[in-house]
Amino acid sequence: MPKRGYHHGNLRQALVDAALKLIEEKGPTGFTLSEAAKEAGVTPAAVYRHFEGREDLIAECALQGYEIFADLMHYAYDTGQPSALASFEATGRAYLAFARKHPGHYVAMFESGISINRSPELAQVAQRAFSVLEKAAENLSEHIPPDKRPPPQMFSAHIWAMSHGVVELFARGSPGTKSPFPPEDLLESGIGIYLRGLGLVPPDE
């Protein structure tokens, strides 16, 4: 049943919450602004006092998602210390946890077609999340001579892509892609194999 009685101050967030629910249920293009308004318990006209259109509303969902995501990635990295490898693996697990716990945000961020450069605020918070992996990558490669060190931006991007692939194929219930191994184990072993192949961690770690 639609929620009623939202005050002006929290109507914007009520619309975001409604959109997140609809994104989770129908995908980012599977609902209209009128449906979001109905879910929030307001008239369609009220939406336009806060958002220019559906994309603007989804972009706000993505922005809030990146804020949660960046905080989670930073927390995972910090709690994985003092081992650089443990911190790197912790960020991978955090990626999976975020996708499971915040599916509406995740879809708005990565599957809606909304560019992170849509606004300076969105670009800034997305970069804050990406920077965690780059920092972890830099720490992992400090022991390698600079002339033999792979670019941290390169292998952090590879780990990002691996994390995203495990989420898409095995952690979000995609049909026909069930794995005999838990997604966390798939990702952790994949990260370990990849990093050892680059010589970034000793074989026995």
In a structure prediction context, what are the per-residue pLDDT tens digits for the chain, which is 205 residues long? 444 444 555 889 999 999 999 999 999 999 999 999 999 998 888 888 899 999 999 999 999 999 999 999 999 988 877 787 888 888 888 999 999 999 999 999 999 999 999 999 999 999 998 898 888 888 888 888 888 888 888 888 988 899 998 888 887 765 556 667 888 888 888 988 888 888 887 666 5
Query: According to the model, what pLDDT value does residue 83 have?
Result: 80
DSSP track, 134-171: HHHHHHHTTTS-GGGPPPHHHHHHHHHHHHHHHIIIII
Do residues 188 and 80 make contact, with C-beta atoms less than 8 angstroms apart? no
Cα(161)–Cα(133) distance, rounded to whole angstroms? 11
- Structure token pair of residue 166: 């495990």
Per-residue pLDDT at 5: 45
CA distance 156 to 8: 42
Domains with residue ranges and CATH for the chain: 1-51 (1.10.10.60), 54-197 (1.10.357.10)
**Residue among 69, 74, 63, 168 nearest 117 (CA):** 63
* Per-residue confidence (pLDDT) for residue 86, from 0 to 100: 84
Q: Report d(CA 65, CA 192) in Å as an integer.
A: 28
Among 51, 124, 122, 136, which residue's Cα sits nearest to residue 90? 136
- Alpha carbon 69 to chain centroid, angstroms: 5
Residue 69's Cβ-count burial label (10 Å; 0-12, 13-18, 19+) is buried
Structure confidence at residue 201 (pLDDT): 74
